[in-house]
A and B are shown apart, each in its own frame.
Chain A
Amino acid sequence: METIAFKGVSFTYPGCERKALDNITLSMGDSDFIVLCGKSGCGKSTFLRQMKKNLIPYGRFEGEVTYKGTDVSELDKRTCASRIGFVQQNPDNQIVTDKVWHELAFGLESLGFANEVIRQRVAEMASFFGIQNWFRKDISELSGGQKQLLNLASVMVMQPEVLILDEPTAQLDPLAASEFLRAVKRVNLELGTLIIISEHRLEEAFPLADKVILMDSAKVVMYDETEKVAAFLANKDNPHDMYYGLPSIMRIYSELLKQDRDAFADKNACPLTIREGRLMMEEYMGSKQASDEETDSIEGGGIGRMKQDIRLKSEAVENTRGDLVIEMEDVWFRYSREGMDVLRGENLYIRRGEWFALMGGNGAGKSTTLKAICGNIKPYKGRIKVDGKDIRKASVKELFDHRLGMLPQNPQAVFTEINCEDELFEAFAGSKVKDEVQTEKVNEMLELLQLSHLRKSNPYDLSGGEQQRLALGKILLLEPTILLLDEPTKGLDPFFKRTLADIFKKLKENGTTILMVSHDIEFCAEYADRCALFFDGTAISTSTSKRFFAGNNFYTTAANRVVRKWFPQAVTCEEVVDLCAGLST
């Protein structure tokens, strides 16, 4: 049954030549879980907003969007508010009131329900989402993940038939994000709500989806069942930009299939979960081992050589003992006198020119570590040195002038100007750099961050990922030699993540040290030189990335979890594929 239908929908923003939506026709229904994916700025938000009356953007509109046969723009306020739910990206901005219980009731208050009805419905939803334990809390005490869950619940109390979510996990760390997505899936499974969600984290979203809409430059390229879209993304000769966002298991599968057309008996069963991935590898290795026995070359040939290569590469990194740029020795910190210690005798040594990733659970104190290094918080015990200088004795100028650079968690914290170009020029405020040089550098930076087409846009009109990039550009123009990054991949599409990694690699080649705090296991595994796990107030098990992930059982990449039985050293997709290629030669 169709719930929402698009018929020949095109849309152009005022003052723009290019269409934001181009002739889209599709219908959604059947309580599906539909994932909308595509690069940043391809029109995903515009598409989603067409379905919610009060969020439809101004501009030239053609075609028809209907909810159960009625044009969306003609729905009465009550139906629109209660039947079509919308969750946006930023967890903070959507919350209206100061208490959790009041926020939950907000929508029902608007609809004019009596106290008893609201009480019952709120109680029901609070229990469904596990909110009852923080039901009476102040909003300001909640974590980002809890806030977003509250936003979801306060839409769900109105019992909508359609739930639209616009990159709801972009501002969340990966753990909170997967918890959120699981809650959305539960809504879909247990309440039968039609879900339409735009999401970059395909790794998490694909296994949940019934159908996928793939968008590219204002057009819907494909709208079909998940496996088919995955196969489409993977099987093209030059892979689609979104290919890099696919779960590693799917990528391994499709690469293996490319190498050897007959690797798998069933060609249409693309694995989605770790378990299915294992079964796939089981089958694959089974066939390989059989053929290998005949040629008798396991250790001498392919696999042995590859193993050795990887080991040598990682040890090379470990053995270059450069000088230290950041030294933390026995650092203790707590936020309030009565509170718990967040840093408990932390020791951390970062070498010049390396890319270091600090990983670990939520609220463990990873961000606090960065703040301590910048001197934004003062540890009560211990010593921190940057470039050999004790930070307590250094002035702000000494610390941040061509030395430390830090990207704040919310990019808005550095925006001062009305367009992106000026925003970047502002980085030079008070410096003596010549105008021509400034212009050149700004242009270079816009190019590098792929923001040139947005140079005249207001920073606040950019999407979350674009804002993140702009803020990064501003910090990079200050030319720091030590870059501190707090979740730099948050809200970025998988394609841009690769670009970002290239930017960081280039910076590293020029001698910049990068200290990154992140939950993004796949990203760290692929690019960081060394990783450490932050646990119980200190950084433990510091090691090269390869060793770090190969040594972990759960806290490791999906690729490693799939193949660790055969290749315990392989951490990234590429390595797995290379190793498998080694087998077949």
Chain B
Amino acid sequence: MIGLKELSTFGSFHPSVNFTYFVIVVAISMSTMNPWFLAGSFISAFAYTIILSGKSAIKFNIMFIIPIVLISALLNMLFMHDGVTELFYMYENAVTIEALIYGIMMGLMLSGVLMWLLCYQVIMTSDKFIYLFGRILPTIALTISMIFRYIPLIRKRFKEITEGQRCMGRDLKEGSFVDRVHQSVKEVSILIAWSLESSIETSDSMEARGYGIQGRTSFHLFHFSMRDLKMMILIVLLGGLIIAGNIADRTTIYYYPYIRYPLQDIYSYIVYGLYYILLILPIITDIGGEVRWRQLRLKA
């Protein structure tokens, strides 16, 4: 059940729902240093990257994400000397528990946000992005779509040019340095000429299909349904309550000189709970989707 990619049920929601979700989650986890928040965000983002991208995410998380946390903790511990609980002295500087914990929290925040962005990349495909921003700036949206079209095309052409030149006995990898520079300039210039010439035909084709007539609309395949509305309300409600709690200082924490919560009470725990619900929303949605799918298949 890992590596869902575009089969993700959460990803099948309306782009505006997906986008709102990521904006709220990332904003909240960047605006607070509360360990309850950061640990929750880290764990759920860690889990969700694996659900979305599978094995490659496990590898990436171990190779990059965990080192980020460790390095951040180490650096903060070595260079930050505030805090009252000394662990030991190094070159006459105190190394404190407060600095160590603050460093870990910084690491959790950075890596958590990073992992949320990775999830964002899987969920918000180019067409969703284009759709969202195309309504504000239609020409930009079309331009982006055209760029996405051109990147693979140009890559393919360049490969063909290199191969073609190689078959004329002109290889980029052989000959003197000057020869090779000369050859690469030639190949790039072929690519430019080819692309410019072909773009004339593209613009002909655009005009032939009426590009330039006043009142262009922007077509999309998305549909804002009842399910999207419910999810949107839930996300916004949760987000609103959590942010309200943060503003009311219920979740504020100070690390220096010593760790303390100025105003921790029952409301704080409610806010934490709400945040956890928000964090695991996509995970629950995806697991729920998978479970339902399997049940249906078993019945059939």
A residues apposed to B, CB below 8 Å: 52, 54-55, 77-78, 81-82, 85-86, 88, 90, 92-99, 101-102, 105-115, 118-119, 122, 136, 138-140, 151, 154-155, 158, 371, 374-376, 395-397, 399-401, 404-406, 408-410, 412-416, 427, 430, 460, 474-475, 478, 484
Instruction: Give the A-B contact count at a CB cut-off of 8 A.
Output: 178
Residue of chain A at shortest CB distance from B201: A93
Residue of chain B at shortest CB distance from A77: B213
CA distance A140 to B145 in the complex (A): 13
Residue of chain B at shortest CB distance from A96: B206
The residue in B167, B214, B218 that gathers the most chain A C-beta atoms within 10 A of its C-beta is B167
B153 interface residue (CB < 8 Å to A): yes
Residue of chain A at shortest CB distance from B209: A107
Assess whether A478 is in contact with B168, with CB atoms less than 8 Å apart: yes
Residue of chain B at shortest CB distance from A405: B167
CB within 8 Å for A400 and B167 given contacts A97-B146, A113-B217: yes
Residue of chain A at shortest CB distance from B196: A460
Residues of B within 8 A of A106 (CB): 206, 209, 211
A539 to chain B, nearest CB (A): 21
23 contacts between A and B (CB under 8 A): A54-B204, A78-B213, A81-B213, A90-B201, A93-B201, A93-B205, A96-B149, A97-B149, A98-B149, A110-B216, A112-B216, A112-B217, A118-B219, A119-B219, A122-B219, A138-B148, A140-B149, A151-B205, A400-B168, A408-B160, A408-B163, A416-B190, A460-B197
B265 interface residue (CB < 8 Å to A): no
B residues apposed to A, CB below 8 Å: 126-127, 142, 145-146, 148-149, 152-153, 156-157, 160-161, 163-171, 173-174, 186, 189-190, 193-194, 197-199, 201-202, 204-221
Assess whether B219 is in contact with A105, with CB atoms less than 8 Å apart: yes
Known contacts A93-B199, A399-B169, A405-B168, then 4 further A-B pairs from the complex at CB < 8 Å, ordered by chain A residue: A77-B212, A107-B209, A112-B217, A412-B157
A159 to chain B, nearest CB (A): 12
Assess whether B209 is in contact with A88, with CB atoms less than 8 Å apart: no
Residues of A within 8 A of B153 (CB): 92, 140
CB within 8 Å for A460 and B193 given contacts A108-B219, A376-B163, A396-B166: yes
Which single member of B156, B157, B165 contacts A414 (CB below 8 Å)?
Answer: B165
Interface residues of B: mostly helix, strand, loop or mixed? Answer: helix
Assess whether A54 is in contact with B219, with CB atoms less than 8 Å apart: no
B78 to chain A, nearest CB (A): 43
Which single member of A93, A108, A113, A475 contacts B168 (CB below 8 Å)?
Answer: A475
Assess whether A413 is in contact with B209, with CB atoms less than 8 Å apart: no
CA distance A458 to B38 in the complex (A): 63
Assess whether B174 is in contact with A90, with CB atoms less than 8 Å apart: no
Assess whether B209 is in contact with A110, with CB atoms less than 8 Å apart: yes
CA distance A88 to B209 in the complex (A): 12
Assess whether B209 is in contact with A154, with CB atoms less than 8 Å apart: yes
Assess whether B202 is in contact with A413, with CB atoms less than 8 Å apart: no
CB within 8 Å for A416 and B149 given contacts A96-B206, A110-B212, A115-B217: no
CA distance A499 to B127 in the complex (A): 49
